[in-house]
Amino acid sequence: ATALDVWEVDLHEYYPETGTLVGSAIWAKELTPEDEAWVGTVATLDERPTYRATIVDRKILESYLDDEEDPLDRQLMEQWGELATMAVPLVFQDAVVGCLTLIEKRYPRRFDDEARRLAVLLAVPAATAVHNARTFRRQSEQTRHLTSLLDAGRALVTTLALDEVLTLVSREARRALDSDRCAICEADAGTGALVERATASRRGPAGEADELHGPCHLRSRGVAAGSMPDGDEPLVTTAADPLLDAETRAAMAVFGERTRLSVPLVYSGERLGLLILGETERERRYTAEELDLARGLAEQAAVAFARARLYEREATQNERLLALLETSRAVAAALDPAEVLANARVQLAELLVLPEDDVVVALRAPDGRFVPPDEAAAAWEEAVEGGGGSAGPADVDGRDPVAGGAVTSLAPAQDAIDDLTTLVVPLVAERDAIGFIRLHRARPATFGHEEVELVQVVANQAAAALENARLYRAVERQAITDGLTGLYNHRYFYERLHEEFARSQRYGLPLSLLIIDVDDFKRFNDRYGHPAGDQVLAEVGRVLSSQIRRGIDFPARYGGEEFAVLLPNTARDGAHVVGARLARELGELAKRLGAEAPPAGRPAREVGERIRTSIAGSGLDAVTGAGGAHVTVSIGIAAAPGQAAAPDELVRNADKALYLAKRSGKNRVEAFETWGGV
């Protein structure tokens, strides 16, 4: 400027990889704020076509306001108060690195050959200075880049805290690339949403993370689903791009971004999130070195996510294993099917973080249908008492294809139905489905492979526990049941007798006892043989079971050819209408007192007569192999309270009544009377 006596000298650096000119330095006799603000401005050759001849053709370009014909150049010269300019290319080792512009604002001036020669000479050291400055900056940037990568790598090695690592990476990325804002987002594998996990801003204190945002789907986050970078290639978007879609433009406007660099976080082929660098003060074009640095920092963030997910997965697995151990203990320790399934249901809801209502258990009923556990238990109890015990073919409602598939294949089945993802895992025992567990989860979330395996383990344990409970109940039933007749045995009869007698005494409820003896049974055995006699006893047991209130009255084989039937809340005989009404009133009183009172039954004498006539009318030709075989019974009845002060006395009184029936000709029913003994 001094040698040529000009008002101002501007120095542009040229970056061929982006085709841009950057204002790098300015000297003027009187610098204005506008001059100072010019430093750092970026323009393309398309925006400043005048410089194309200087940069591309390497020509010295002179412009004079009085002669300027190009309207754009004339407008710019008038805007800056320029009367004459001369632009000289800066060439270093045959590469254009920028241009030097001499500007005169004081008076109209024409540059002569001497001025041109002197400008060319001065351009040589200026080009060298630009090259050296670039080399120094490049080395400084490389050092800063390496430092950023090392710091990010050091954080990965020294801590497993994901937020801490991401905060450091976002800060280093912002610093290394000299961006206004950096955000690191994690992609939710189930919902496809981006969650902003860490941010750093030029406006905040160094290293301070911005407030974290909640889940935001890709489209609403400003990265349209269609413009998400594929693979690991960065994507640069500018607000001034006329082809930019409206959604992305609007989202960038939220953050005031003029340029955005988006780099996918990819680890082992899995897209884990996005590194976003935003420029709010200027439009920016990134160099190849800067894009490589962004990739490197994105790789660090991807590794952090992958490590954190692996750590979380292992921690979750450990928690689930511990919970599974507790579940195994709870399920294995239960011998009641309802308790087994309740434990399994609660534990699965906790393990998979589901509402308990979204975990449903069904068991197979005797008719093959899959119903709620309580309904299945009641159906099986009724079937066993009725002499059944085997299940019919599995019958799954055709409207439940997921359960149907699981029950048929004996393997887990999963499908999306309406707004829910449904998983059904069968309960399998002895290669047969005895039930299933159904779980629901709101779409688009599904049940992962590890979760399916977890449910399978719990289902296997529950099925084994249910089978153990069934075997336990079978053994328990065998211990209290007579093997020949299927009725309760003598020992268990006395246990129930004491329980029912105590309840009768406590609440004043009637209790009747029938003692039944097969008439002339020894003679029958001598004539037809003991196997036929056993069949007669089994038939008597069947008749008793069919003539009483199932689940209320208590039939038992008392010993030999004698049987007993306890009839709770049942009057003996006499004015049975009044007795029934009294029994109902006493039952209501018992319920109000919190006791479980069985419904009032028909008078005991009526029950006894029904049993007697049923047995007397039974045809035994198939048993004896000959016609004319008839079996009859004699029945003695005793009742409490009032006629017996203790259980044993009730039995003795019923025995006395039975003795009277035998002595009076057999095949009859007699009741104990308090006056005169019988």
List the catalytic residues: 561
Indicate the pairing of strand 633-640 with strand 669-671: parallel
Q: How far apart are CA 255 and CA 284, in angstroms?
A: 16
Residues 258 and 239 sit within 8 Å (Cβ to Cβ): yes
The DSSP-derived string for 571-634 is --SSSHHHHHHHHHHHHHHHHHTT---PPP-S-HHHHHHHHHHHHHT---HHHHSSTT----EE
- How far is it, in rounded angstroms, from Cα 8 to Cα 38? 13
Q: What is the 3-state secondary structure (H, E, C) of 531-544?
A: HHHHHHHHHHHHHH
**Which pairs with CB-CB distance under 8 Å and at least 24 residues apart come from 64-68?**
64/108, 64/110, 65/108, 66/108
Cβ-contact 377, 404 below 8 angstroms: no
And the tokens for 632?
């009859």
Q: How many angstroms separate the CA atoms of 454 and 317, rounded? A: 10
Task: Calculate the alpha carbon distances from 508 to 200, 494, 588, 602, 672 in Å.
Answer: 82, 20, 12, 17, 19
Cα–Cα distances in angstroms (integers) from residue 176 to residues 39, 179, 203, 295, 455, in the given order: 21, 8, 16, 12, 48
Residue 625 to residue 515: CA distance in whole angstroms: 29
- The single-letter code of the amino acid at 361 is V
The whole-angstrom separation of Cα 91 and Cα 2 is 22
Q: How far is the C-alpha of 126 from the C-alpha of 314, rounded, in Å?
A: 61
Contact between residue 424 and residue 440 where contact means Cβ atoms under 8 Å apart: no
Contact in structure between 593 and 657 (CB atoms under 8 Å): no
Structure token digits, residue 618: 């039974």
Sign of CA dihedral 578, 583, 589, 591: negative
